[in-house]
Structure 1
C-alpha cells in the first residue's frame, strides 16, 4: 500500500486557478489516495496561505478540504500535517476536528523499512538569517497572543495583504540552484552526517519538484513542489518513490530535466 506526500497547497489565494477550484482538485487527489489504499498521507506544510486559530473561530472556508481530512482519518488512514511558514500558527483545531497528527518540526519516520526525514523546510540550512529571526519572534507566545487580540476580519486582511506583497517581491521560484546554492540540500547533508542511515529527505517550501541524490550516492533529497501551478506530489511504496503531477483527475509522471537527478517543471 503506497504512502503519499504533498505540500504547499496555499489554499486561500488564487493562482493558475481559483483557490476553490484548487481545493476541489486536492479533494479529488485525496480520493485517489484512498482508492489506492494509502498506508498514510503526509501534508508537508503551507496548506493554507494563512491560518490562525482564535479561541472561538478559525478562518472561513476550506470546508471540503477539512471534511475530506476528517473522512479519511475516520477510515483509519493516518494523515500527518506539518506546519509551514504560512500556517505556523496552527494549534489544536485540525487535530481535534479532523483527526490529523500535527508536527511543528522535522521528524524521522520509518516507512517500508526506510528511514525518512520529513519537514516543511522553512528556516533550515545556512543563510536566510532574517527569516530565522522573524520566525523566532512569530513563534513566541506573546506574538500569537497579541495577534489574537485583532478582530479576525482585520487580522486575515493584513496577513493576506502582506503575504501577497512578499510573493510579488520575490517573483517566480528560481530553478534548481545546484547543491551549493540549495539550502535544503546543505541541511540534508548535515543531517546525513549525523544519521548515515537516512534513505530519503522529503521537504516542501521550495516550490519546485526536485529529486537529487546526496553525496553518499544513495540518499535522495526529494522536494514535493507546489499546487499553485504544477500540482506535484510524491508516491512511495516498498519498491520506489516517484514524483508525479496531478492532472485534474489522474496522476502523470514528471519529466526529469536540468540534469539526471533534478526535476524542474515550473511554468510561468
Structure 2
C-alpha cells in the first residue's frame, strides 16, 4: 500500500535511549516501506551543529543514510530546536532540506507542511528569540565556535527554554486560529500538517483540516497518509 509518513518533535537525545530505540525501530520497519518520510522539525532535543561527531549524532545520521540509500526520499523542515541542521547533515544523510513552509501533493491532495512554531503568534517572546537566532550572520558565527563551547551555550539555552515554558500560559504556546487560516489561504490549500505544540489531534474547521503531530515523550507519534485518507497513530516504546 502506498503511504507517506510524517513525524516531528522526537527530541532525540542520548539521555532518552527509549525514544531513540523507538525511532530506530520505526526507521527499520515502517519508513523503509513508505513512499516518502517527512520530518517536520525538532528531530533532536537540540542540534549543536553539523560538526557534532558524537556517537549518538552519527547513529541518527546512519539511520537516515540507510533509508535514503534504499531509495526512500526523506525531507526535513527545521524546528525550533534543530534549526542548525545544515548542508553537511543533508550531504551525510541524503535528507532533503525544505523551506519552513512547503506545499506537497499527497496522492492528489495538496497539503501545507511546517513545523508550527510560526503559527503561535501570541508567544511574542519566543518569536523574538526565533527571529534573532535565524539571522544568517549569527548562525555563521555560532557554527565557527569550538564544539565544546557550543555545547555549553546550548545547555544554557535549554535551561532558559525550560524556565520560560513554566511561566507561560498554555494558550500562548498554542497556534492562533487566524494565523492558520491565513497560511492556508495564502497557499491556496485546505490541509495543513505540523508539529511543535505537542497536542496531537485532527482539527476540522470551516477553512480546512489541520493535523497536529504528537511528540515522542511517552510514545511515538506518526501521521500516515494514503490515497484513502490520513490517520494519526501512536507507537509504543519498546521498553
Fold in common (TM above 0.5): yes
TM-score by length of 2: 0.88
Residue 158 of structure 1: CA displacement? 2.3
Q: Which has the higher contact order (CA 8 A, sep 6+)?
A: 2
Which residues of 2 match residues 17-32 of structure 1 at below 5 A? 18=16, 20-32=17-29
Residue 173 of structure 1: CA displacement? 9.9
Residue 5 of structure 1: CA displacement? 0.4
Partner Cα separation in structure 2 for residue 13 and residue 172 of structure 1: 27
* Aligned: 1:4 with 2:5: yes
Cα-to-partner distance string for 1:110-149 (whole Å, 9 max, x where unaligned): 1100011001011235322322222222111221233234
Which residues of 2 match residues 188-267 of structure 1 at below 5 A? 188-196=180-188, 198-216=189-207, 219-248=208-237
CA gap 1:45/1:34 in 2 versus in 1, 3 angstroms? closer
1:38 match: 34
* Aligned: 1:58 with 2:49: no
Cα-to-partner distance string for 1:216-251 (whole Å, 9 max, x where unaligned): 3xx2101101012232111110102111101136xx
RMSD of aligned alpha carbons: 2.5
**Helix, strand or coil at the partner of 1:123:** helix
Runs of 4+ deviating beyond 4 Å: 172-175
Cα-to-partner distance string for 1:56-77 (whole Å, 9 max, x where unaligned): x225223332111111101111
Query: Which protein is richer in helix relative to its size?
Result: 2
How many residues get paired?
Answer: 236
* Aligned: 1:163 with 2:154: no
1:143 match: 138
- Structure 1: which 5+ runs fail to align? 250-268
Please point out which of 123, 132, 148 is paired with 1:153. 148
Residue 10 of structure 1: CA displacement? 1.0
